[in-house]
Amino acid sequence: MSDRGSEVPVLAIDIGGTKLAAAMVGADGHLTAYERVETPNRPIGHPDPEARSRDAEAIWAALDALVGKVLAAAGADAERIAGVGVGCGGPMTWPAAEVSPLNMHAWRGFPLRDRLRARFPGVPVRVHNDAVCVAIAEHWQGAGKGYGNVLGMVVSTGVGGGLVLGGRLIDGKSGNAGHVGHIVVDPDGPPCGCGGRGCLEAIARGPGLAAWAREQGWRRDDERDPTGVDLAADARAGHPVAMAAMRRAGRALGIALASTANLLDLDVVAIGGGLSQVGDLLFGPLEEAFSVHARMDFARRVRIVPARLGQTSGLIGAAALVQRPDLYWGGDDR
């Protein structure tokens, strides 16, 4: 396969705590034979090793069945694909891709890449963090296309990102470069799941915002626990506490991105994920805080825009790990 991409499609996979998605993706980023299923994932999991092992295999079986369905729909088989590209939640070892997604308790050190290599011998199998794959997609085919220096972000249940500098993905020593969610924006702020305090993710992630809004008196009519999606909907409807939560998230994002722009001299920041869908309710306070804290001319010129590719961006970015390894793959050859 050429480093400039292949006309043979890539099998792309996007693994999350709520859904598994797969598709065939061509050299132009176009998807065919798209399929998705719910992840057979217990939110808390079980401490019993035997139960966790059963749950781990149940997730793998669902993924294996999904992949088979996509291949059948595309009229392809394991010998007629250019390779397999995967985006998966972290943390993970990289590039070996023993994965331990925080929202999938059953997968702890799960040998995802080895399993896929056994399933697809003879073709490249490449796995990266799911937020990194979103960043790759936005640089390759989305809001950052044509620019050399791009930060792609996801603001949803967590806050993650990936970094392209000089036209190439920057992996860092452990594959975690671009992890913008753990920039500290308020040293006296709330505790973060990473063990720190005042990280961007601790403030701007959907569940954290919903918890903050509940403390301020926000309620929903139904009995279930409201989510960040509910909060965003109420913000769009004009609920004052929900709107204040979006301002809180936007301010934190603006502060973090000012520091990032000063450090990295970026062209574009593309922000995706569920919370980005509220538009000016988030981007307005973001831009206000950014303008206060980014005072150097080179930093102020950064374009901060909504991501363009939507829910399929993770699959497009995962495919690019195989279609464009010259730009997006810094791991081993296979």
- The 10s digit of each residue's pLDDT in 272-287 is 988 888 899 999 999 9
Contacts of 69 (CB under 8 A, 6+ apart): 22, 35
pLDDT in tens, 98-139: 999 887 889 999 999 999 999 999 999 999 999 999 999 999
In contact, 200 and 151? CB cutoff 8 Å: no
Q: What is the pLDDT of residues 31-70, one digit of tens each?
A: 999 999 999 976 554 555 556 668 999 999 999 999 999 9
| Mean of pLDDT over the chain | 91
Task: Output the pTM of the full model.
Answer: 0.90
User: String of b and e for 198-225 (b: at least 16 CB within 10 Å)?
Assistant: bbbbbbbbbbbbbbbbbeeebebeeeee
DSSP state of 310: G
Neighbours of 126 (CB within 10 A): 25
| DSSP 3-state of 286 | helix
Residues 6+ away with beta carbon under 8 Å from 151: 135, 161, 162, 163, 164, 178, 180, 257, 260, 264, 266, 268, 269, 270
Strand-pairing partners, residue 272, are: 154
Q: How many residues make up the chain in this entry?
A: 334
pLDDT at 249: 97
Query: Is the CATH number of domain 10-133+312-328 3.40.605.10?
Result: no
Instruction: Name the pairing type of β-strands 84-88 and 125-129.
Output: parallel
Edge-first strand order for the sheet with 31-38 is: 31-38, 19-25, 10-15, 84-88, 125-129
Angle between helical axes of 240-264 and 280-293 (0-180°, round to 10): 40
The C-alpha atoms of residue 180 and residue 195 are separated, in whole angstroms, by 15
pLDDT at 120 (0 to 100): 95
146-308: CATH class? alpha beta
Residue 1 is predicted with a pLDDT of 42
Residues of CATH 3.30.420.40 domain(s) within the chain?
A: 10-133+312-328, 146-308
User: Average of pLDDT values for 184-188?
Assistant: 96
